[in-house]
A and B are shown apart, each in its own frame.
Chain A
Amino acid sequence: MSALATHYIYYMTAGLLVIGLYGMIGKKNLLKKLIGMNIFQTAIFLFFIYGAVKPGTTVPVLDIRIGMDAAAYINPLPHVLILTAIVVSVATTGVALALLISIYRRYGSLEESTILERMKQSS
């Protein structure tokens, strides 16, 4: 029970990871796969952000009353890493949406089974 109380964020992150993976692999619609990918990546962002948390500390902006003591501030590095990862995720999503548009224009559908059928017909 105590593990659940202190680490519940990790369980929720793991849950999100599994939902995202299921979306990417289990769903047959390409757009749903993409949504799964976004959920999956968000779970990882949350994992990093939770890793930065230290109870009883404050935001990582220099406060004269606290001084230069690094232990009194939240660790800002994971936030910076995740900002980069978010940019990467946005770029990937952009490329994926562009691919989906071009797939839709050629095959008129985003359902995997329909696309495969129309691929066979055209070849």
Chain B
Amino acid sequence: MSHLPVLIPVTLLLSAFLIPLAGSIKRDFAFAIALVGAALAFAFTLAGLFTVITQGEIRYHLGGWAPPIGIEYVLDALSGFMATVVTLIGLVVLIYSRRSVLHEVAPRVVPLYALAMLLLAGLVGIIVTGDLFNFFVFLEISSISAYALMAIGDDRAPVAAFRYLILGSIAGSFYVLGVGFLYFSTGSLNMADVAQRLPELYQSRAVAAAAIFIFIALGLKMALFPLHLWLPDVYTYAPSAVTALIAPIMTKVAAYALIRMLLTVFQPAYLRDLLPLTSVIGWLAACGILYGSIMAIAQSDLRRMLAYSSISQIGYIGIGIGLANPLGIIGALLHILNHAFMKACLFLVAGNIRWRTGQWEIRRFAGLGRTMPWTMAGFSVAALSMVGIPPAAGFFSKWYLLLGSIDAGNWFFVAVILASSLLTAVYFFRVLEQVYATHTNEESAPMKASDPPLSMLLPTLFLGAGLLILGLFNSAIVTYILNSVAQPLQRPGS
């Protein structure tokens, strides 16, 4: 059992290595290995999460070297929760991807799966590592494979990917710079060890510089307003299965990293009370929510609308981090989970529409509610969840964020969360109106459209149904997993 933290990324890395070898013999092997690898990784994370809940955190020392000298992998409630989200979404999207990828980018299937597994390995690695520099290595593994994945796609994809590469390497470099300041101040790279040595250095300007550099870096990766500029183009031009893989989890992992820095490395006492970076994040996120919602209303392309809606939804997570109180962090983490399900579901629906009709333009969707009933049912559930209508899961994370804002006495955040729910309703009901209530006209997508094959439909419906189930069982998630995560944020005396 104690090997679980390292088994998760290693399984994914190994399958990334095997895919090009087996894929050169027969192209279908690539998909099979990717599926097995992702399924195994998901099984390991589930086992890990269960062990963490019942027996407490698992610490694995790489190569038998004890920290702070050796690299340590940690599976605690926070990382177990995040790793489960990432591997589950990865698995579902991989099941979906086979036909979609063959349809859109058939000649590049083998490298695409190898890169997808590398991306997942990098993201899971970021989550389980307990070492600041190892974190950087996994950050770059996930980023470099993401650049390459995004460049597979239509003619504009490489340009969008190159722009993201430049911004992403600024982020990576800033992170290393921040870690450099931390290392030269504390003499350690192990997160727990750094956390122990930091309190006596809280007045040091080098530590402040480290915190600022690391937060800019993770803000860029998270697409926090105003560092979001790379996101819309990247999501729009990549193949639909790739967007469905990247959009729900990649920015969330950066958000997780921010929470990890806040809770484990710098401690709330520093980032919330001494150097109030968290409130900067909260205010930027509030601006991002409004900006993303308004831009989403203005889009005519479904993928672009979803991309701007991602910027807005990331803002919710940012507000939770910004509040830095227990309810806020619970809301943020719950929203990471819910939004991963919602965005994956929505992008799978977009992929289904593309697969049947070849269209992205919302004005041509009239009548799809009749011709693709199941796909559009999935879309409706996800849309209602995005708006925040119970019992869909999206309501509950917003509820916690609202409670957190009220608890902090921040009425501006309360207003932003409520206003943005209305704006979200505007841009989703616009699509629903086209789909269900508008008569087909000569601009409509071809009427021969129907629901896609089961291998694509089932993952979409699974995510849609998952949203309702998550909504019903969210209190269990909060009680068993998230409450203990949010414990360090309890202010003394309250």
Task: For A24, give its contact among B144, B170, B184 (CB under 8 Å).
Answer: B170
Partner of A37, one of B136, B155, B169: B169
In the assembled complex, the Cα of A102 lies from the Cα of B155 at a distance in Å of 9
- Tell me if B137 and A84 are in contact (CB < 8 A): yes
Which residues of the partner chain A approach B180 to less than 8 Å between Cβ atoms? 44, 47-48, 51, 78
A12 contacts B by Cβ under 8 Å: no
| Chain B residues in 8 Å Cβ range of A103 | 158-159, 162
User: Is B147 an interface position by the 8 A CB rule?
Assistant: yes
Q: Are B176 and A99 in contact (CB under 8 A)?
A: no
Is B399 located at the chain interface by the 8 A CB criterion?
Answer: no
- Interfacial chain B residues near A77, Cβ < 8 Å: 183
Of B148, B162, B170, the residue contacting A100 (CB under 8 A) is B162
| A40 at the binding interface (Cβ < 8 Å) | yes
Question: How many B residues have CB within 8 A of the partner chain?
Answer: 26
Q: How large is the interface on A (under 10, 10 to 19, 20 to 34, 35 or more residues)?
A: 20 to 34
Question: A80 — nearest CB in chain B belongs to which residue?
Answer: B133
Q: How many residue pairs between the two chains, A and B, have CB atoms under 8 Å in the bound complex?
A: 78
What residues on A are CB-neighbors of B159 within 8 Å? 103, 107, 115, 119
Residues on A with beta carbons closer than 8 Å to the beta carbon of B136: 85, 88
The answer, among A78, A92, A106, A107, for a CB contact under 8 Å with B169, is: A92
Q: Collect the chain A residues with CB atoms within 8 Å of residue B169's CB.
A: 37, 40-41, 92
The answer to the question of A96 belonging to the interface, with a C-beta cut-off of 8 Å to chain B, is: yes
In angstroms, Cα B159 to Cα A55, docked, is 47
Shortest Cβ distance from B151 into A: residue: A99
Which residue of chain B has its CB nearest to the CB of A123?
Answer: B156
What separation, in Å, do the CA atoms of A51 and B183 have in the docked complex?
A: 10
* Interface check A122, CB cutoff 8 A: yes
Encode B122-150 as 1/0 by CB contact (under 8 A) with A. 00000000000100110010011001100
Q: Is B165 in contact with A95, judged by CB distance below 8 angstroms?
A: yes
B165 touching A44, Cβ below 8 Å: no
Docked CA distance A48–B180 (Å): 7
Residue B177 at the A interface, CB < 8 A? yes
Q: Does B173 sit at the interface, judged by CB under 8 A?
A: yes
A44 touches B133 (CB 8 A): no
Q: Which residues 1-53 of A have a CB within 8 angstroms of B? A: 21, 24, 30, 33-34, 37, 40-41, 44, 47-48, 51
CB-CB < 8 A to B156: which residues of A?
Answer: 119
Give chain B's interface residues, CB within 8 Å of chain A: 133, 136-137, 140, 143-144, 147-148, 151, 155-156, 158-159, 161-162, 165-166, 169-170, 172-173, 176-177, 180, 183-184
Can you list 9 A-B contacts with CB-CB less than 8 angstroms, sorted by A residue number?
A47-B177, A51-B183, A78-B180, A78-B183, A92-B169, A103-B158, A103-B162, A115-B159, A119-B155
Chain A positions within 8 Å of B, measured between CB atoms, are 21, 24, 30, 33-34, 37, 40-41, 44, 47-48, 51, 77-78, 81, 84-85, 88, 91-92, 95-96, 98-100, 102-103, 106-107, 115, 119, 122
State the 7 A-B residue pairs at the shortest beta-carbon distance, nearest first. Answer: A88-B140, A99-B162, A102-B158, A99-B158, A103-B158, A51-B184, A106-B155
